[in-house]
Amino acid sequence: MVLLESEQFLTELTRLFQKCRLSGSVFITLKKCKQLSTRPGRAGRSGEAERCPSLDDGRTKPIPRKGSVEGFEPSDNKCLLRATDGKKKISTVVSSKEVNKFQMAYSNLLRANMDGLKKRDKKSKSKKSKAAQ
């Protein structure tokens, strides 16, 4: 996955929409991102969960680490946006300081590129009321 700056993300997202205009889909996800400061000593950590010695039945339970949120400040909230068409993946991280500017550009981009959606077939009310009787 390619992590891009906000402006580059919007231009690549426009390209994804243009590529998938006639056929295909673009999937966009948005989630809260907590980027903690990296601490020394985490580089040599293995991917396995640490086992809790008090469990004898074979189940694993992660041991909580002390001070795991020491680098997180509530005013430093960030959003992670990801977009994919199934083949190409792009992503960006938007900080709380630049979220208003990004939101305006993002909403304009969505309005401009959502004209290729299929129209839904609306059933008339008279058919529904006759079927209910």
Q: 120-130: per-residue pLDDT in tens?
A: 788 777 666 66
> How deeply is 69 buried, as exposed, middle or buried, from its count of CB atoms within 10 A (0-12, 13-18, 19+)?
exposed
The pLDDT of residue 42 = 46
What residue has token string 């010695």?
53
Express each pLDDT in 102-114 by its tens digit.
Answer: 999 999 999 999 8
> Would the pLDDT of 15 be above 60?
yes
**Domain 1-35+75-112 class, CATH top level:** alpha beta
